[in-house]
Amino acid sequence: MSRPPSEADLHAYLDDALTPERRAEVEAWLEAHADDAARVAQWRAINSGLSEMYGAVAAEPVPSRLRALALGPRRSGFGWLPIAASILLALIAGVAAGWVLHGGSVAPVGTAAAALPRDAAVAFAVYAPELRHPVEVGAEEEAHLCQWLTRRLGTDVKAPKLDALGFKLVGGRLLTADKGPAALLMYEDGDKRRLTLYMVSGAPEPAAAEFSFAEHDGVNVFSWFEGNAGFALAGKLGRDELLKAARATYAGFKS
Amino acid sequence: MNVAAQMTVGSGGLAALHSAPFLEGVDGLVVQTQHLIEPHIGSLRRYARALVRDADRADDLVHDCVERALSRWHLWRGEGNLRAWLFTILHNVHVNNVRRDMSAGRPVQMPDGIEPRATPASQDDRLMLNELAAAMTRLPDEQRQTVLLVGLEGFSYREVARITGVPIGTVMSRLSRGRERLRELIAGPDESKIRKAK
């Protein structure tokens, strides 16, 4: 033992703030000095007591006034409304947004913006669990796949590289959306987790590129509009990880 | 599937364009700040509850913190630790509240008693938690903050120094004095003198 631990060393030992060498020294000291070991154990008991008393607060549902503040007013408080009424609200909000964004000309932004993440989540839920036929055209025919979907959607379809995030293209398929075709590209990582990129064309261009987050039945979705196309990346990934993938996808379409 | 709540999300993003602040992403994309703040609300509430005990006052504190964070979003540069930045704001709001309450002559001392818990505790556990809860109310505010930021929220000493706006040495001494005081209050003064007697 080179030197006896200071008071600060004992706390830093508990708080895991020592270098491995110093940590080993303090550990050896504590093995030989029961009184200090008891004090550290009591400090540790204080920490676990605090976690026991307050830990559950972090997992409590966030009160509506805080949610409303943090997520914007439209996110909260409408859960109890009948579906039809809330669709109407979404439409009104969308039309109002469209009105403001387009300097008075009403564009149906709201319908497209509201439908996109929902449709993308449904497409994910339907196709991502598929073992034998997840896609119509596989990644080995990527060039053909993209040409085909580009032609059908009338907008440029690419398969952005998500390799840096561990996801590789599985393939894609053509789907139907409200007003026409939609494209679905599927990615998979080494743990067999899947991501789907859902694309529609003919969407009105919003004022600024913006990611919107939504969650539908455990499927997280980031959606955005760019040019005349709507994009939605869906998966059962954490929000941060999905946001990274969304950024990479966005960048992939820009290049 | 809760369609009702979700249907409104997509358009909310667009409508929020005019009111909500945004973070300029590295690739020029704008991400709604709310998406970044929301994941931290749970731990802000936990800390606030432990700090002021009263659930409503704690949520008022978090509310003011989030409001201030949204209005000062331009000061956040998208680098470093967002959680620590939010805690810094919460800390400042709290310190201002305490100062205001003191100058208004309002009692700052917190009520004794223990929070209701989800899991039933054994008799000993319950006793220890009751004593800990009571002991926490008897710490000076700075020591209570430091003990909680380190022990409950897991911030590093450096982060706590930044959050509370004091040198790291002050963090260490507050932590040390706070924990020793808690230990004395819980264990009784005799036991705590063991080390000094040696």
Residue A222 sits at the vertex; the CA angle it makes with A217 and A227, to the nearest 5 degrees, is 135
Domain ranges of chain B: 22-110, 121-198
pLDDT digits (tens, 9 = 90+) for A2-12: 688 999 999 99
Asked if B102 is an interface residue toward chain A (Cβ–Cβ < 8 A), one would say no
> Which A positions 186-215 lie with beta carbon below 8 A of chain B?
206-215
How far apart (Å, rounded) are the C-alpha atoms in residues B189 and B198? 15
- Quick one: closest CA in A to B116, which residue? A53
* One domain for residues A93 and A151: no
Q: Does residue A144 form part of some domain?
A: yes
Do B1 and A116 make contact, defined as CB atoms within 8 angstroms?
A: no
> Which A positions 54-93 lie with beta carbon below 8 A of chain B?
54-60, 62-63, 65-67, 69-75, 78-83, 85-87, 89-91, 93
Residue A19: which domain range? 7-59
Q: What is the CATH number of domain B121-198?
A: 1.10.10.10
Model pTM score = 0.53
Average pLDDT of chain A is 80
How far apart (Å, rounded) are the C-alpha atoms in residues B56 and B52? 9
SS3 B116: coil
Residue in B12, B114, B118 closest to A56 by CB:
B118
CB contacts < 8 Å between A and B, how many? Answer: 243
Listed residue (B11, B59, B66) closest to A75, CA to CA = B11
Q: Can you give the pLDDT at residue B167?
A: 95
Q: Does residue A1 form part of some domain?
A: no
Listed residue (B110, B6, B124) closest to B58, CA to CA = B110
SS3 A120: helix
CA distance B73 to chain A (A): 13
Listed residue (A158, A160, A139, A141) closest to A149, CA to CA = A158
CA distance A64 to chain B (A): 11
Residue labelled with tokens 């033992």 = A1
* One domain for residues A137 and A241: yes
The domain total for chain A is 3
Q: Which residue pairs, CB below 8 angstroms and at least 24 apart, start in B154-159?
A: B155/B84, B155/B87, B156/A17, B157/A12, B157/A15, B157/A17, B159/B81, B159/B84
Q: Is the pLDDT of residue A118 over 60?
A: yes
Which architecture does CATH list for B22-110?
A: Orthogonal Bundle (1.10)
Tell me the pLDDT band of A182, cut-offs 50, 70 and 90. Answer: very high
* One domain for residues A47 and A163: no
Question: What is the distance of C-alpha A111 from the center of its chain?
Answer: 22
* One domain for residues A94 and A200: no
Listed residue (A3, A58, A12, A33) closest to B179, CA to CA = A12
Listed residue (A168, A232, A237, A227) closest to A199, CA to CA = A232
DSSP annotation of A25 reads H
Structure tokens that stand for A177 in this block? 């959306």
Q: Does residue A211 form part of some domain?
A: yes
Inter-residue contact A167 to A192 (CB < 8 Å):
no
pLDDT digits (tens, 9 = 90+) for B58-103: 999 999 998 888 877 767 665 567 899 999 999 999 999 888 887 7
Provide ipTM, 2 decimals. 0.74
> Which A positions 3-22 lie with beta carbon below 8 A of chain B?
7-8, 11-12, 15, 17
